[in-house]
Amino acid sequence: MSAQKHVGVIGGGPWGVALALAAGRAGAQVTLLSRRAPPPNDNVTVTTEYADVAKAGLVIVAVPSTVVREVMRTLGDHLDGHHLVVHGIRGLSPDRLETVSDIIRDETPVRRCGALGGPVQATELAHGRPSAMVVGSRYPEVIGAVTEAFASPSLHVRGTHDVRGLEWASALVGCVAIGVGFAEASGAGPGLLAALISGAVEECGRILVMAGAEERTMLGLGGYGDLLASIALDHRPEVVIGKSLAKGKSLDEAVAEAKLRVEALTLIPRVTAFAREHRVKAHTFDILLEILQGARPEKLIPRLFS
Can you tell me whether residue 37 is helix, strand or coil? coil
Q: Which CATH number fits domain 164-304: 3.40.720.10, 3.40.50.300, 3.40.50.1100, 1.10.1040.10?
A: 1.10.1040.10
> Taking the C-alpha atoms of 213, 218, 223 and 228 in order, what is their torsion angle to the nearest 10 degrees?
170
Per this entry, what is the length of the chain?
306
Helix 283-292 vs helix 297-304: crossing angle, to nearest 10 = 170
Are 3-161 and 164-304 equal in CATH topology? no
- Rounded-to-10 torsion of CA 146, 147, 153, 154: 40
**What are the structural domain ranges in the chain?**
3-161, 164-304
List beta partners, residue 115.
87, 136
Q: What is the pTM of this model?
A: 0.93
Alpha-carbon 20 to chain mean position: 16
Main-chain dihedrals φ then ψ at residue 86, nearest 5 degrees: -130, 140
- The secondary structure of residue 4, as a DSSP letter, is G
State the amino acid at position 163 in one-letter form.
V
Q: Which residues have C-beta within 8 Å of that of residue 173, sequence separation ≥ 6?
A: 90, 204, 223, 226, 227, 230
**Beta bridge mates, 116:** 135
Cα dist. 230→35, 55, 163 in Å? 31, 36, 22
Give domain 3-161's CATH architecture: 3-Layer(aba) Sandwich (3.40)
pLDDT at 1: 39
Torsion angle in degrees (nearest 10) through CA of 216, 217, 218, 224: 100
How confident is the model at residue 224, as a pLDDT?
A: 95
What pLDDT was estimated at residue 2? 46
**CA-CA-CA-CA torsion for 198, 199, 205, 210, nearest 10 degrees?**
180
Specify whether the CB–CB gap between 164 and 172 falls below 8 A.
no
Task: State whether residue 237 is helix, strand or coil.
Answer: helix
Q: Give the residues of the chain that fall short of pLDDT 50.
A: 1-4
